[in-house]
Chains A and B, each alone.
Chain A
Amino acid sequence: MSDDDTMAARGRGRRGFLKSGLLGGAALAAGSLTARAEGDPAITEIKDWNRYPGEGVDARPYGTPSQFESEVVRRNVPWLTAESISSVNFTPLHELDGIITPNGLCFERHHAGIAEIDPAEHRLMINGMVDTPLVFTMADLMRFPRENRVYFLECAANSGMEWRGAQLNGCQFTHGMVHCVMYTGVPLKYLLEEAGIKSGAAWLLPEGADASAMTRSVPLDKGLEDCLVAFKMNGEALRPEQGYPLRLVVPGWEGNMWVKWLRRIEVGDKPWAQREETSKYTDLLKGGKTRMHTWEMEVKSVITSPSPQKPIVHGRGRTVIAGLAWSGLGAIDRVDVTIDGGMNWHTARLDGPSFPKALHRFYYEFDWDGSDLLLQSRAIDDQGYVQPTKQELRAARGPNSIYHNNGIQSWHVNAEGAVENVEVS
């Protein structure tokens, strides 16, 4: 099938609703076919796939998604950055379910492009305030005891374009700088103990091997508590864009600290005040002061469907609200959903595994009567923190923090089922 044929077969592209913002009832390609006397041709006609064999087991050594899922891709916003090498793209949250992000869809954030590293030439050095500065090969790292852990990674700037108001129309763009995978790696504690931490040490400086040579100061306590040096995600080797062959995992903390292409960890007694913890990843407040070392990602949630890229196309009746919730401080205890802009709330259903510092999936099912809706979700974590409104955050911080926007997201659903990013009062 050519691309044109594929498009024709699919009828109106799902994302076409985005541009029109309206649903012509007759154009509903997906779903409600009225039964005719002669029956549904999807049933009454013999299809090609029903008659002819498809490809064999030798055709797809590494499988890819169906051609009919070609719109489920990472996207970027060209005007955000000067160029694409030091930039970001966004996970298509609106198309995903469960809590695990497929490796090829995990959002990317690079500061000097994707380093392509031969693992045979990769080294990890531990130096500074240690008894024996060490060098490890990848083969060496494979000999340490391993752990498997599911964690979310959220960019500190996720939702940053929304600080001043509703700007980007789609949860991919407003919330897509997050992903959640199972990491396999070595607890950083084992590597530090192998080198022998000297008395007085209190800080770590992980460093990347790429051309941005990413460095961040990390408290030693955090490194010993739950950081991993990971070489696999979702069972397979890290993707190059996620740090192959090695990355730091810093559970619950802002993504910038999860140094990719990890080549060195220095042990010291003071923080280093690197560019990415002074000029960047510091949060300017109203009044001119700036918070630094804002490491944890706060309690947060978003409804992924319905959302601007995922309108309601089935008309009135039974409707599923799906969403994600997460907290860098622990697990999610509860998610509440409103369909009337916050007048009344309903406790949603958390479904599937719920791990601390990982994404949690919630659902709320209801009967839509066809009237306008104002959808919001509000997460509460197991430390008792309640997700704040955007107004509360702005009142506390002003509009120029850039980072750490965990405010409640509002979607407006109109009578046709089209959805828009809005703010409400």
Chain B
Amino acid sequence: GDHGNFGIGRPASEEEIAAWDIDVRPDGKGLPVGSGTVLDGEQVYFDQCATCHGDFGEGLGRWPVLAGGMGTLEDDRPEKTVGSFWPHVSTVYDYVRRTMPFGNARSLSDDEVYAVTAYVLYLNDIVRDEEFELSNENLADIELPNAGNFIADDRFEEDHYAEKDPCMSDCLDAPAEITMRAQVLDVTPDSGDEGSGG
């Protein structure tokens, strides 16, 4: 080709780019034209999602919880869901279209993804009207509750990183004491050779 320094590769066609470039940004860039209502989404969700994620997004077994957990982020055991934790609706649309249902990715139509995204918002009380229609026109306008609580990486400002010359001798006031033991929990997998004289 007549591009670049090496002339390796070939130009990608519009069709090829469209086939693979399906990502969506928080500002709505990348959203396909389409729409779906909460009620439409309820049907898609029951057919495609509920067997893992539960009828109300509560998550069955170890499968992810999609709804609830509001106000738990400061709890000892936070419940991080779309409603309680996720910052952007665009991520729900993008991720469902890209990877769900688990085991049958890329099988939902763009409108079905709008519908099921609307239903997940409904499960989280982000929208409250069953007739609500989510579309490429309004998705980026919806604010999720936790959007303002994400901060830039400031790990390296933490107090413990100010130490540049750590203690080498007589560093403790008293000899170290054991405060926790893994064997008390006993959740480590055994090796594969059961009954080998261990």
Contacts and interface: CB of A to CB of B under 8 A. Distances in A.
Contact of A295 (B4, B10, B76, B153): B153
Interface string A3-40: 00001000111011111110000000000000000000
B105 A213 contact: yes
Contacts of B188: 18, 77, 168-170, 173, 308
B149 A167 contact: no
Interface stretch (A57-65, A243-251, A267-275): A267-275
A388 interface: yes
Interface string B172-190: 1001111111110101111
Interface stretch (A44-52, A279-287, A360-368): A279-287
B167 interface: yes
Contacts of B10: 134-135
B32 interface: no
Given A194-B6, A292-B150, A384 B20 contact: no
A117 interface: no
A402 B91 CA distance: 21
Given A344-B171, A388-B161, A278 B88 contact: yes
B163 A386 contact: yes
A336 B168 contact: yes
B169 A345 contact: yes
Interface string A76-101: 11110111011000000000000000
B60 to A, nearest CB: 9
Nearest to A4: B196
Contact of B74 (A77, A86, A286): A286
Interface string A397-410: 10110001000000
Contacts of A15: 191, 193, 196, 198
Nearest to A388: B160
A19 B151 contact: no
B74 A196 contact: no
A12 B74 contact: no
Contacts of B23: 205, 207, 215, 266, 272, 274
Contact of A386 (B90, B105, B164): B164
Contacts of B152: 291-293
Interface in A177-220: 190, 193-196, 205, 207, 211-213, 215
A421 interface: yes
Question: Which of A135, A263, A340 counts the most chain B CB atoms within 10 A?
Answer: A135
Interface residues of B, number: 83
A275 B170 contact: no
Given A15-B193, A127-B17, A279-B86, A195 B176 contact: no
B46 interface: no
A237 interface: no
Interface string A246-270: 0000000000000000011010101
Contacts of B98: 212-213, 215
B51 interface: no
A422 B180 contact: yes
Contacts of A132: 1, 3-4, 11
A407 B166 CA distance: 15
B12 A125 contact: yes
Nearest to B17: A127
A275 B5 contact: no
Contact of A396 (B160, B175, B185, B187): B160
A335 to B, nearest CB: 12
B47 interface: no
A16 B197 contact: yes
Contact of A13 (B78, B160, B193): B193
A344 B170 contact: yes
A266 B180 contact: no
A79 to B, nearest CB: 7
Contacts of A393: 160
B146 to A, nearest CB: 8
A256 to B, nearest CB: 14
Given A290-B149, A422-B182, A16 B88 contact: no
Contact of B11 (A133, A293, A424): A133
A342 B171 contact: yes
Contacts of A173: 188-189
Interface in A329-363: 336, 340-345
Interface stretch (A136-144, A152-160, A315-323): A136-144
28 contacts: A11-B197, A12-B196, A12-B198, A125-B17, A127-B20, A132-B4, A134-B1, A140-B8, A143-B8, A190-B5, A273-B25, A278-B87, A279-B80, A284-B78, A287-B74, A291-B152, A291-B154, A308-B182, A336-B166, A342-B171, A388-B158, A399-B76, A412-B178, A420-B183, A421-B183, A422-B181, A422-B182, A424-B176
Given A15-B198, A274-B23, A292-B153, 17 more contacts: A21-B183, A125-B20, A134-B9, A144-B8, A166-B182, A272-B24, A273-B91, A278-B91, A290-B146, A290-B150, A294-B153, A341-B172, A345-B167, A345-B169, A385-B161, A392-B160, A397-B158
| 3 nearest CB pairs, A to B | A341-B176, A16-B198, A194-B4
